[in-house]
Structure 1
């Protein structure tokens, strides 16, 4: 079984999905990411899906689930690099990815996470 690497960049975990996501790979990623957030105390997760050309409903739900798990563990999630065909497919499948923030690319994703951190720091 293939594992997707999770890299730490300061307070952010970066996941770059370079392979077609099979159901078991997606489940393993979800478990690995939850453990890594808990172990490192990361407060941001960025998932780069720019290499994915096809996303099925299971992977779409998994992205939403990862975001929910991360939120419970006090980390915000941003999905970056979504191809137009993937966005169209998700809409056609009726998946809105509630709670999942998106950005065009990694640079904008990092800016979004920085902005979220600043907003969270201002909250009483």
Structure 2
């Protein structure tokens, strides 16, 4: 039975995973997304993760916290995370509500996120250590 269009897609792009959230997720869907993403980091030995939220017009406190936790889990699994595509209205609302992404790098769009991971990844390979934040 088809359950409809995918709410999230996780694609492998070389050493990176690109996770696009296509629509607002409820709490249980966010947790499932988190588990799937962290699983795939190990399966594909990914060095970086991009979480693309460009399709979202709202990001509540649970979603923001879950994204921060997901990035920390990814870091513990050896992958650097960046969040791409936070819409202007979402950024405004997050600031007004006192929500943030913690120390997670953010990028304007997917292109910027890939560029960032490429730069950080080169530094890690060259120095054999994690980049400074």
Identify the residue that residue 67 of structure 1 maps to in structure 2.
Answer: 71
Whole-angstrom distance in 2 between the partners of 1:28 and 1:85: 26
Say what the alpha-carbon RMSD is for the aligned residues. Answer: 1.4
Q: Unmatched 5+ residue regions in structure 1? A: none
Residues 79, 102 of structure 1: 8 Å contact kept: yes
* Deviations 1:38-80, CA, capped at 9 Å, x for gaps: 1110001011111000110000001101110000011000111
Out of 46, 49, 71, the residue aligned to residue 45 of structure 1 is 49
Whole-angstrom distance in 2 between the partners of 1:57 and 1:10: 32
- Look up the SS of the partner of 1:5 in the other structure: strand
Q: TM-score, normalised by structure 2?
A: 0.88
**Count of equivalent residues:** 124
Matched, 1:17 2:21: yes
Q: Unmatched 5+ residue regions in structure 2? A: 129-133
Whole-angstrom distance in 2 between the partners of 1:70 and 1:93: 26
Residues 10, 19 of structure 2: 8 Å contact kept: yes
* Deviations 1:13-58, CA, capped at 9 Å, x for gaps: 0111111121111000000001000111000101111100011000
Identify the residue that residue 62 of structure 2 maps to in structure 1.
Answer: 58
Out of 27, 31, 40, the residue aligned to residue 27 of structure 1 is 31
Which protein, 1 or 2, shows the higher relative CO under an 8 Å CA cutoff with sep ≥ 6?
1
Deviation at 1:81, TM superposition (A): 0.7
- Look up the SS of the partner of 2:8 in the other structure: coil
Whole-angstrom distance in 2 between the partners of 1:97 and 1:82: 11
Change (3 A) 1:20 1:3: closer
Deviation at 1:3, TM superposition (A): 5.6
